[in-house]
Chains A and B, each alone.
Chain A
Amino acid sequence: MSSMLLSTMRGCSVSPSWAVRLGARSLSTTAQLHAQVQTKSKKTLARPGVKNVVLVEGVRTPFLLSGTTYADLMPHDLARAALQGLLQRTGLPKDAVDYIIYGTVIQEVKTSNVAREAALGAGFSDKIPAHTVTMACISSNQAMTSGVGLIAAGQCDSIVAGGVEFMSDVPIRHSRKMRKTMLSLSRAKTLGQRLGLIGSIRMAHLSPELPAVAEFSTAETMGHSADRLAAAFGVSRVEQDEFAVRSHTLAKKAQDAGLLQDVISFKVPGRDIVSKDNGIRVSSMEQMGKLKAAFIKPHGTVTAANSSFLTDGASAVLIMSEEKALAMGYKPKAYLRDFVYVSQDPKDQLLLGPTYGTPKVLERAGLTMSDIDVFEFHEAFAGQIMANLKAMDSDWFGQTYLGKKSKVGTPPMEKFNLWGGSLSLGHPFGATGCRLVTTVAHRLQKEGGQYGLLAACAAGGQGHAMVIEAYPQ
């Protein structure tokens, strides 16, 4: 009953008044573990009939510029390293997980279910099923929320979710014509047939197909779209460069202060131990200003320095039902609460996921922008972040495209991506989601906040947002 009432209320377009919502929440007298909420003035987001899902731990390999120390590995090696790091960090028995889910974008064809290969390689019990999901830059978000779903549905109690991306080596294919010839060749029976097929190969057949970070539906590369998006919102080159410098500066500070606790050390076979992200570069505005436009030439504003760079890296999180975590003696870091996926026009609104996702998830959770203490947005491009901020600050955009009475409102910068972001730390497509979740949890602990919100955009014009609640200290 009460949950029905709640869901109808949540369905209302206007967010319910504080009093009514509190009243509704008070119906949930049977809700377990209510007492554990910390004694801040804010209430908890625990909901009757909905299991509490907690983040126990989150780790990641150092994120490295592709083509550097990880260059000779394979994707599952990185994922393996993250999984082993998680095992080490948590002391989790290797058979105490019900399911493993990984997200990845550009698949190595040899290990298309990279979750399974990595799990086996990391020493997890071979009795644990594993699957791989893909949803562009929010692939590991999808891995985590799939896990949350399994826990909420009572299917599993403990899940390892993660993501991996390896851009040092990507599958480059023969041309379609060449592939067709080669496949026919394998079926040819006589020498004559074989020679005929070989003879049919032309120079043009030999040109390879390179994977492009381009939308299939529009054939536009993401950087190009980001440049247009920035222009549509009137984001200047200087604004973008400033934001990029901010990201690198904050990342450097966080790295130096040892705040990036999710990073594990990784002994790369044949190479040194890697224990730090290597893409953080604090540059002056003059240096930033010298770069030429990378996509829309020559008058574009998106440059290599104000975009996230191609990155190798993997991440992993351990999520459990709260009872299970407590029963196993863990001290959870945070609750994973409401989340939403959104999608919109892949041509002109490719990277506006956060603008669409943020108000939606806030409404679901019954929170407002001012309730949030920690914001972590995925920084695909400085121009994309600035465009999203301007979209959220625009009454016209809110009314015309979000169906709101007025603007969404922008996150205050003093709460926003304070430990750097994808621009500076790096962005291994499939792995970024877990980094965001873990960072929100760590920042909530460090800064003493209660609610965190993460949001990310993804290729295909999709987006994701999630509300995270600090676990009582």
Chain B
Amino acid sequence: MSVLVSLNGRRRIYEVKGDVAVVRINDPNSKVNTLSIQMQKEMAEVMDEVWANDAVKSAVLISSKPGCFIAGADINMIQSCNSADEVTTLSQEGQKMFERIEKSPKPIVAAINGSCLGGGLEFAIACQYRIATKSKKTVLGTPEVMLGLLPGAGGTQRLPKMVGLPSAFDMMLTGRNIRADKAKKMGLVNQLVDPLGPGLKSPEERTIDYLEEVAIEYARGIVNKKIPIRKEKEIQDYVMSFEFVRNQIYKTVHSKVMKQSKGLYPAPLKIIECVKTGVEQGPVAGYLSESQNFGQLARTSESGALIGLYHGQVACKKNHYGVPQREVKTLAILGAGLMGAGVAQVTVDKGVHTVLKDTTVSGLARGEQQVYKGLNDKTKKRNITSFQRDSILSGLTGQLDYSGFEKVDMVIEAVFEDIHIKHAVLKEVEAVVSPHCIFASNTSALPIKDIAAASKRPDKVIGMHYFSPVDKMQLLEIITTDQTSKDTTASAVAVGLKQGKVIIVVGDGPGFYTTRCLAPMLAEAVRVLQEGVDPKKLDALTTSFGFPVGAATLADEVGIDVAAHVAEDLGKAFGSRFGGGNVEVLKTMVDLGFKGRKSGKGCYIYQPGLKTKEVNPDIGDVLEQFRMTPNPAVSSDSDVQYRLVSRFVNEAVLCLQEGILKNPLEGDIGAVFGLGFPPCLGGPFRFVDSFGADKLVEKMRRFEAVYGNQFTPCQLLLDHAKDSSKKFHK
């Protein structure tokens, strides 16, 4: 006997099955469910009906959308608030609603299939019982910290009670997604349900039905007292009952956060504060602290920057160039070096047949081993099974010649950065491939039009600039020339998206966008070193500004030889503006074999197995050779930081001015995801907006007086400085 209560237009519909009310969440206007004001209102109405209905003894809360329970709170709802108090009120309304759920006289079972994040998780943990599908798509987590926020609807209060202090801190401070099986072990969910294959319906539909059937059974079981809802006391709870243990945890977590965030991110510290207040002073104080801190955080520039990056990332995960005429089914990579093999790894595991070509057996073996290792590490982490690893690898062909290239849809070359070699392989490739095949160059600085000059079909030539290590770095910079066809661009973007990349599409020119921004900053870093600043100090200055990797370490990671190469090339192209440090410093280091991490020595000495790295003692002699006298007027710690950052930012703005960049958004995404520009600043353009173009220009003018045109602000930056109403981001 089931009664369908017709509630047209509502996101929630509830149906009574026997004595269990099944509440189905389904936002009609979106692919995912989010907790908006509208939904909260409807939820309250539906729950009132459920509580008032005497025929109902318990309830099941489930989403009708495959792959999504509730993806979180509606970000726009928070952003449209005009004051911290308004956001605090929002938080308090959420807290109240979930308190009613928590105190429900009729047990509520949350049946989770798909993403259960942020506010969705807070909703679920307010319910009396949670059942989740073991599907890969089912993930639970509190990602608010990544947006500079905190779980503001009771999460900071309920989560520690549910999973214990250490796990709760881990979840809330890292924001990482937790898979269903792990969630069960942690006590975050009570029961797991297997995803089903095809039956009388599609796997997705049937799995949701099955989850609902099982959840109804459990809901009845809870009412009949056959299923306990209180978790058993564990040793951990006993340990946590000692105040000194808890204090030790707060202390450790706090110092870890300070070490990693350099105090630049307020959200993690506020999360610790809210949890501590709740645990030590009771729920009333805890909930108040949570809502107030939530309100404050929502108004911080850090949160604004992080939310901006989130939106940017979403925008850069779409193909704005349409559907390519042909899907790339076979992709060939020339050069099995670090880059080539990295590209192969992120391609082959997406089901694309991947050909990895090198010129030597040893080079090929190294590359294939890198792909294997990358996949095998996933096996060890149990992300994939060894069987999946093997079947993925069956899609990889290693070869030394061009046999079978007539079937290749796209070639990505990752050979040595030399225009003559690039021309040679381009001609070799064009001699064997079919007419539709696209030729992409993974160069970091050579202009694509120079490479395309050797091509018979320049419309099929494009740049695809990956970042090392390819399997970790999210960014892909795609470079189009005037001649690159739209379909070629669409195809390159489609491949990049398949590889899981965040993509910016930029115009052609020496160094494109990312390398061009990085080069002046590295030139400045070299000058700073020449002025007698120790590499460790240089790193400390950059990381304390918010860069995840210090400038000296970054140079080692990129490779001193690559940096020297790029500095020289771009120096030729752009002239004295790219000067600063002496290129000879880098060249001398290369001559001495200090090529960075890959050669074991650079600014630092790298020893396998050792985590700490020491400054390369021989580098002092090199720097001594090129010693410059610092000018005390522009050499304070803060000045050094702004010298580095302003050159980066100015070059980025110039890229926008010159049309290399299409919009500031892609500029911010490229800088943060490709170069590690401080995420808390949201990228160079958002930084200019929040810091003030006028203030930046003022600083640059001061540096310009000492160093000359390297610090001359570009016209667009000057325009923004003149008119404070001009902003890159609205």
Contact = CB atoms under 8 A, between A and B. Distances in A.
Interface of A: 216-219, 224, 227-229, 231-234, 296, 299, 345, 347-349, 387, 390-391, 394, 396-397, 400-401
Contacts of B200: 232-234, 390, 394, 396-397
Interface in B161-177: none
A299 B217 contact: yes
B199 A387 contact: yes
A349 B198 CA distance: 8
Contact of A229 (B197, B202, B217): B197
B384 to A, nearest CB: 12
Interface in B553-569: none
A227 to B, nearest CB: 8
Interface of B: 191, 193-194, 196-203, 206, 210, 214, 217-218, 385, 387
Nearest to B214: A299
A343 to B, nearest CB: 15
A231 B214 CA distance: 10
Nearest to B200: A394
B184 to A, nearest CB: 13
B196 A231 contact: yes
A217 B387 contact: yes
Contacts of B387: 216-219
Contacts of B206: 231-232
11 contacts: A217-B385, A217-B387, A231-B194, A296-B194, A299-B214, A347-B197, A348-B197, A349-B197, A390-B200, A394-B200, A396-B201
A231 B203 contact: no
Given A231-B194, A348-B196, 7 more contacts: A227-B194, A232-B199, A232-B203, A233-B199, A299-B217, A349-B197, A394-B200
**Which 5 residue pairs are nearest across A and B when measured between Cβ atoms?**
A348-B197, A232-B199, A232-B196, A233-B199, A217-B387
A397 B206 CA distance: 13
A228 B203 CA distance: 11
A347 B136 CA distance: 14
A228 B217 contact: no
Contacts of A387: 199
Nearest to B131: A299
A231 B195 CA distance: 10
Given A299-B217, A394-B200, A396-B200, A228 B385 contact: no
B199 A234 contact: yes
B510 to A, nearest CB: 50
Contacts of A391: 199
B194 A228 contact: yes
Contacts of B202: 400
Nearest to B203: A348
A202 to B, nearest CB: 20
A173 B14 CA distance: 55
Contacts of B196: 228, 231-232, 348
A390 B199 CA distance: 9
B194 A397 contact: no
A258 B214 CA distance: 44
A397 B385 contact: no
Given A218-B385, A218-B387, A219-B385, A228 B197 contact: yes
B563 to A, nearest CB: 46
Nearest to B196: A232
A12 B197 CA distance: 30
A390 B206 CA distance: 14
A219 B379 CA distance: 13
Contacts of B198: 232, 348-349, 397, 400-401
Contacts of B194: 224, 227-228, 231, 296
Contacts of A348: 196-198, 203
B18 to A, nearest CB: 15
Contacts of B385: 217-219
A57 to B, nearest CB: 40
B63 to A, nearest CB: 19
Nearest to A225: B197
B201 A345 contact: no
A437 to B, nearest CB: 30
Nearest to B226: A298
A10 to B, nearest CB: 28
Contacts of A234: 199-200
Contacts of A217: 385, 387
Given A219-B385, A299-B217, A348-B196, A231 B201 contact: no
A228 B387 CA distance: 21
A233 B218 CA distance: 21
A437 B219 CA distance: 48
Nearest to B215: A299
B473 to A, nearest CB: 32
B292 to A, nearest CB: 43
B206 to A, nearest CB: 6
Most buried by A among B200, B214, B218, B385: B200
Contacts of A397: 198-200
A360 B214 CA distance: 36
A391 B206 CA distance: 14
A401 B206 CA distance: 15
Contacts of A216: 387
Nearest to A390: B200
Contacts of B214: 299
B394 to A, nearest CB: 13
B134 to A, nearest CB: 10
Nearest to B206: A232
Nearest to A227: B194
Contacts of A299: 191, 193, 214, 217-218
A192 to B, nearest CB: 29
A348 B194 CA distance: 11
Nearest to B192: A296
B167 to A, nearest CB: 25
Nearest to B390: A217
Most buried by A among B199, B202, B387: B199
Contacts of B193: 299
A149 to B, nearest CB: 29
A394 B199 CA distance: 9
A234 B199 CA distance: 8
Contacts of B218: 299
Contacts of B191: 299
A348 B198 CA distance: 7
B154 to A, nearest CB: 29
A345 B199 contact: no
B137 to A, nearest CB: 15
A299 B219 CA distance: 13
A434 to B, nearest CB: 30
Contacts of A401: 198
A457 to B, nearest CB: 14
B447 to A, nearest CB: 48
A345 B197 contact: yes
Contacts of A400: 198, 202
Nearest to A233: B199
B205 to A, nearest CB: 11
A397 B201 CA distance: 8
A172 B383 CA distance: 29
Nearest to A393: B200
A227 B196 CA distance: 10
Contacts of A224: 194
A358 to B, nearest CB: 18
A376 B214 CA distance: 33
A397 B200 CA distance: 6
Contacts of B210: 231-232
A222 to B, nearest CB: 14
Contacts of B217: 299
B230 to A, nearest CB: 18
A397 B198 CA distance: 8
A218 B385 CA distance: 8
Contacts of A394: 200
Contacts of A227: 194
A398 to B, nearest CB: 11
Contacts of A349: 197-198
